[in-house]
Amino acid sequence: MTSLIRSCVLMNKAYPTLKSNVGLPFIYLLLIGLLFCFISTTLFADGMHLQDNAHVVSKDMADKLENELGAIESRDGLHIEVVVLPNFYERQPDAVLNAYIQQLAKNAPNVDKRVLMLIVLSSKVAVIRPTSNIAQAYNEANAKEIIDNVTKNLNEQKYDEMARIGVAGLYHYYQKEFPPQKAQVSEWKKYGNLGIIIIALVFVIFLITSRQKKKGM
């Protein structure tokens, strides 16, 4: 949206004397301006879970990961964010990382299990920062394995695989440390099933007894 506004302002500055009564040339110019604005915007909007500020992940992969991460949050209560930056924007790396950590909490205030992966292309680095309640899932060995896989694909410029394998690693180690709990069968259901079996047995015995009586008569 910022790019769209900036582009439209540039068009306005380029043609300051343009009046609405120019007629057909004005319409053509307006269409060109709209096209210019459209091209200058990002081809796809950043999602809540995948923020590709470097614009290296394909739209298909971005959509797929966004849907999958949304499903993980709904199903498992884990909010994952992957942020891809072209560089640190001439700021200190720690300041950039802390800014995204703070943003992580704002993006998912009602989810207490959150993890951030920040990937910076120019520095070829990846950093993982989980909330303290799930930090055990991303111990030094686990985090290193995820980061090694991410940076390998980053160095090979396989950006779709970089994003996919980063998400897969984050979820894999979370699920390994916090496996989904099996639904407990309620006591009513257990005894209800037993009652149905007993009733069925009584009914079968009744039928057998009735037939035997009929034969005896």
User: Which of 180 and 123 is assigned the larger pLDDT?
Assistant: 123
Q: Are 166 and 61 in contact (CB under 8 A)?
A: no
**42-91 pLDDT, tens per residue?**
333 457 899 999 999 999 999 999 999 999 999 999 999 999 999 999 99
What values do phi and psi take at 117, rounded to 5? -120, 120
Whether 181 shows a pLDDT value over 80: the answer reads no
Q: What is the pTM of this model?
A: 0.65
Provide the H-helix boundaries in 41-158: 59-76, 93-107, 140-155
Predicted pLDDT at 12:
45
**Cα–Cα distance, 128 to 125 (Å, whole number):** 10
Mean pLDDT, range 197-201, rounded to an integer:
74
What percent of the residues of the chain are helix, what percent strand, and what percent coil, each to the nearest 5?
65, 10, 25
Query: Which secondary-structure segment (H or E) carries 168?
Result: helix 159-177
Closest CA to 107 of 46, 155, 60, 188: 46
**Cα–Cα distance, 82 to 116 (Å, whole number):** 6
Predicted pLDDT at 10:
41
Predicted pLDDT at 108:
93
